Amino acid sequence: MEGMDPGSLRSQVLDAVRRFKGNWLELGKFVSEVEKQGIFREWGFPTFESYCTRELKLKRPTVVKLLNSFRFLKKEEPAFLSSALAGGGRPALPDYESVNILRRARAKKTISGEEYGKLRSSVFEDQVPAREVSRQYRDFLQSAREAALDPEEAYLRKRKESLKRILGSLRNIRTNVELSQLLPAAGLEILKKLIAQVEEELTEE
């Protein structure tokens, strides 16, 4: 922007936005400072959100994840954060989406220390994609929910889920058989009866 001091915080934030994909941590640091100082008002923006949307062209969900991830590192991983911000031979920077998932896991009482450690390794050491970190997180939550259930209730739930999967597979097979006419009418009838049996089992659950 014309007339802007290249060394000003405002200018630094805009530069960081241009490098966002390569170094989200830098942007998180500057945006956090802008919010904390409330300096966006001096730049003509009534709210922090309007500043991020209009000047930085960042959507609110992105900004929220960015700030949460930066603050999480500041609180839980200060050594990593200092090293990463120092540049040079800094450690590889995980995706901010992955760090945000790790933050959520830290706040969940149902996530054990061992499970959190596995997630942390996935994020910082293995550098797995955020999608995979999210899957691991969901699996841990599901395991915790199942562990809290009565043993018989947990068994019935798993049985129902298995029956649903089987029913879906059988229906796909029936459709393929009908289209391809690979089985005689008698074979197709057996398949239909099997599907009806599984449907009846699910109805009784």
**Closest to 130 measured CA to CA, from 92, 83, 94, 88:** 94
Digit-by-digit pLDDT tens for the chain (205 residues) are 555 676 688 888 888 888 776 679 889 999 999 999 999 999 999 999 999 999 999 999 999 999 999 999 999 999 999 888 887 556 788 999 999 999 999 999 889 999 999 999 999 999 899 999 999 999 999 888 877 766 777 677 788 889 999 999 999 988 888 888 877 888 888 989 999 988 888 887 5
The label of the residue with tokens 């405002």 reads 10
The pLDDT value given to residue 72 = 96
User: What whole-number distance in Å separates Cα of residue 143 and Cα of residue 136?
Assistant: 11
Q: Hey, is 94 helix, strand or coil?
A: coil
Please give the pLDDT value at position 186.
Answer: 85
Q: What is the pLDDT of residue 202?
A: 83
d(CA 100, CA 119): 11
- Decide: 55 and 43 in contact? Cβ < 8 Å: yes
Residues 6+ apart with CB under 8 A from 48: 34, 35, 38, 40
- Residue 4's pLDDT is 67
- Provide the 3-class DSSP secondary structure of residue 1: coil
